[in-house]
């Protein structure tokens, strides 16, 4: 997939116009602000330190290279020219190459509008292109809002890793959820 490829447009639950597209170099500043706002918010994501422009540049370079080589799928949600959501689907390797790992986050103020669900649907549509039959994700076991959405999307709990996430001075479990795609 080429960087910046427009995948589709839709109206969010609040009638906001949303574009789903592949990321591009011009998104660097938006993506840096996006991840750093999530870290500042102390959102339930793996990252716990702000990114530098250099680290984000390296990450985006790898992301775009993998995108162009069809080694993974990445989708951003854009509202009024600003990135408000980001997700990726990365295949495992070898005997697990039919399984993809999904990561997703939506900017505060844009959640509960259906944007995350639409990004996930787009990743699921793109998955067969990569030979993926199964998608899995990990979520904080305390993130009830996200777990509810994932269940609505057809993901089921397939495992837990107790206490594997350090969060707000304690330990939180990781919930593994899986969806088998109809291929």
pLDDT band (50, 70, 90) for residue 182: confident
| 160 domain residue, yes or no | yes
Distances (CA, A) of 4 to 28, 44, 58, 120, 170: 12, 27, 18, 18, 40
Place of tokens 């993926």: 132
Helix (H) or strand (E) holding 57: helix 53-68
| 101 domain residue, yes or no | yes
pLDDT at 166: 95
pLDDT at 134: 98
| 111 domain residue, yes or no | yes
Residue 179, pLDDT > 90, answer yes
Number of domains in the chain: 1
| 1 domain residue, yes or no | no
Q: What is the CATH number of the domain that holds 166?
A: 3.40.630.30
| 51 domain residue, yes or no | yes
Computed over every residue of the chain, the mean pLDDT equals 96
Provide the whole-model pTM. 0.93
pLDDT tens, residue by residue, 116-172: 999 999 999 999 999 999 999 999 999 999 999 999 999 999 999 999 999 999 999
15 phi-psi bin (left φ>0, alpha ψ -120 to 50, beta other): left
- Could you list the residue range(s) of the whole structural domain that residue 48 is in? 6-180
Residue 183, pLDDT > 80, answer no
pLDDT tens, residue by residue, 7-49: 999 999 999 999 999 999 999 999 999 999 999 999 999 999 9
Residue 58, pLDDT > 80, answer yes
| Burial class of residue 11 in the structure, from the number of CB atoms within 10 Å of its CB (0-12 exposed, 13-18 middle, 19+ buried) | exposed
| 164 domain residue, yes or no | yes
| 54 domain residue, yes or no | yes
pLDDT at 129: 92
| 115 domain residue, yes or no | yes
């Amino acid at each position: 997939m080429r960087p910046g490829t427009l995948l589709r447009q839709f109206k969010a639950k609040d009638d906001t116009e949303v574009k789903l597209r592949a990321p591009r170099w011009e998104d660097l500043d938006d993506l840096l602000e996006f991840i750093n706002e999530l870290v500042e918010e102390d959102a339930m994501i793996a990252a716990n330190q702000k990114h530098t422009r250099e680290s984000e540049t390296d990450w985006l370079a790898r992301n775009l290279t993998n995108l162009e080589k069809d080694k993974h799928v990445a989708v951003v949600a854009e509202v009024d020219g600003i990135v408000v959501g980001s997700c990726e689907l990365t295949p495992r390797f070898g005997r697990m190459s039919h399984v993809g790992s999904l990561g997703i986050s939506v900017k505060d103020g844009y959640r509960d509008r259906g944007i995350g669900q639409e990004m996930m649907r787009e990743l699921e549509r793109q998955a067969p292109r990569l030979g993926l039959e199964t998608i899995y994700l990990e979520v904080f076991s305390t993130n009830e809002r996200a777990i509810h959405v994932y269940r609505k999307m057809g993901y089921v709990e397939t495992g837990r890793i107790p206490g594997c996430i350090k969060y707000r001075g304690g330990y939180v479990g990781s919930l593994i959820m899986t969806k088998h795609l109809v291929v």
